[in-house]
Structures are given as C-alpha cells and as structure tokens.
C-alpha cells in the first residue's frame, strides 16, 4: 500500500470542490478533478441497510430535498433524494453517491483520497468496517488512500482491519496531550481546524514525524501563511484558487531570492 502522507499535496479538495458544486456529490468530485486537484476529501456514513454513502450531516435537511435522520433511510430511499438543487438549479438531480460510485469518479482523475469516517454513535465499528470492505474491493492500489476520523473507535477499527492504510486524527483544537492522542489512535497525521493553528506546536508535531493538515482554508492569504509557517496541507472548497495562489507565491519568492543573488 502506498504511503499516503508521502504523496500528500499541499491542497486537498474539501468534499470534492464544494465551493463550485454541491458538497459530497459526484458533480463536486468531477469539479475537483476538472480544477486539477490531486486529492479530494469526502465523508462516509452508513444508510439504514449499512451501505457506505457519501454525506456529511446526520440529517437530510441541509443538503437534500428530504428531511429527518439520514441513518433511518435505506440506500434506495436515499438515492431517490435530490442532493443538488439546494445548491443551484444547475445541479438538480444530483443524488447522494455510494462510496463505490465516488471511487469510480476519483479514479478517473487519478486523485488521492482522504476518506473521513463519520459514524453515528454506536455505529463506529460498523461504519469503518463497511467502508473498508468497499475500499478493499474497489480502491485502485496505485492511488494514495488516507482514512481519518474524529472518532477513536472508528480509527482503531480501521487499523485492525487494514493496518497498511495510514490514518489521520481529526480534531478542532490541537490537544495539549497531542502526543498521547496520536499514539493512542496510532495515527500518522493530525487534522485541525485552521483558526486554531499554532506555528510552534505544529512545527514540533512535524519534527516528531507527524503531518499536520488544516480545514477548511478558503482564502489565498490564509493558505499562504499557514503553509509558510509549517502546515503540511490545507483542505479547501476552492482547490484551483488556492493551488494557483500557492504556486504564484512560490514563484514570486523564487524570483525575489534570484534577484538578491544578482546583487
């Protein structure tokens, strides 16, 4: 299995490219590929009949024309919902993808994947188990794969079932006992909410051999500052915009250094 963190780009499309298409839909993943994203991040949850599907919320209200608990609907019922019209009339008819459907699109663009496991409390083991079953059947082995979660039980299940795949621990704030937390989860990376970025701590974490990623970074200035101060990568709704900003900043920095060399 590929070491995912060694293949890590600086920019990862968040829920596809959800600044330009409805989040966690095939349209959003296609848009990330069109924008040139090297990796995408998407969320996995279970339907009532335990089919792994790409969705973020516990309820259907925000991102579909349905209502109520996601987990009480079987996958056939969920597939009948419109998951695009809430975003724009251009996306009417987008459905909630299964994990297998999402993998097929990701593979078309040769993108890496950070799959976030988002279990309902009580379904931690089942969610990780079913996701890994589908991944083992469908994930192209030549593409990088990373599993992440806020849930320690999901991460431990992932480790037990597929230890070759690296894992990232999701948190909002960098915990004061980050060493113990990462060791307990046996994760290779820490994924944080970017407003809680602390340069000195991040540099220490990276010196200890872990990667540090931040979500969700949607302005070029923030992305440039975070990367310059030691962050490994950003999750963003606008991968093309952020990638271009980082490349332009790097080019300008190189030109400045080159100019100094000539003096």
**What amino acid positions are annotated as catalytic residues?**
14, 56
Q: Tell me the pairing of strands 167-170 and 145-149.
A: parallel
Q: How far apart are CA 104 and CA 110, in angstroms?
A: 10
Cis bond before residue 216 (omega within 30° of 0): yes
Q: Over the Cα atoms of the chain, what is R_g?
A: 19
Give the helix/strand (H/E) hosting 88.
Answer: none
Buried b (16+ CB within 10 A) or exposed e, 161-193: bbeebbbbbbbeebeeebeebbeebebbbbbbe
Q: Tell me the pairing of strands 39-46 and 52-54.
A: antiparallel
Count Cβ atoms within 10 A of the Cβ of residue 91 and give its class: 0-12 exposed, 13-18 middle, 19 or more buried. middle
Closest CA to 91 of 56, 63, 57, 52: 63
Answer yes or no: are the C-beta atoms of 162 and 190 closer than 8 Å. Answer: no
Q: How far apart are CA 131 and CA 155, in angstroms?
A: 12
């Amino acid at each position: 299995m590929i070491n995912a963190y060694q293949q890590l780009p600086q920019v990862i499309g968040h829920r596809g490219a959800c600044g330009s298409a409805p989040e966690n839909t095939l349209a959003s993943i296609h848009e990330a590929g069109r924008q040139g994203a090297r990796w995408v991040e998407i969320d996995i949850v279970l339907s009532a009949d335990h089919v792994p599907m790409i969705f973020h919320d516990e309820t259907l209200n925000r991102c579909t024309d349905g209502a109520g608990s996601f987990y009480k609907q079987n996958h056939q019922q969920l597939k009948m919902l419109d998951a695009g019209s809430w975003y724009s009339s251009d996306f009417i008819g987008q459905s909630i993808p299964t994990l297998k459907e999402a993998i097929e699109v990701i593979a078309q663009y040769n993108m890496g994947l950070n799959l976030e496991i988002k279990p309902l409390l009580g379904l931690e083991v089942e969610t990780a188990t079913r996701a890994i079953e589908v991944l083992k059947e469908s994930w192209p082995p030549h593409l990088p794969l990373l599993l992440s979660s806020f849930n320690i039980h999901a991460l431990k299940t992932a480790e037990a079932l597929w230890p070759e795949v690296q894992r990232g621990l999701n948190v909002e704030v960098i915990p004061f006992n980050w060493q113990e937390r990462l060791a307990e989860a046996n994760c290779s990376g820490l994924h944080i909410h970017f407003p809680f970025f602390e340069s000195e701590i991040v540099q220490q974490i990276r010196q200890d051999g872990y990667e540090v990623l931040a979500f969700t970074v949607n302005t070029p200035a923030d992305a440039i500052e975070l990367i310059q101060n030691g962050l490994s990568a950003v999750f963003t709704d606008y991968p093309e915009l952020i990638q271009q900003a980082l490349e332009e900043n790097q080019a300008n920095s190189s030109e400045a250094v080159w100019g100094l060399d000539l003096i």
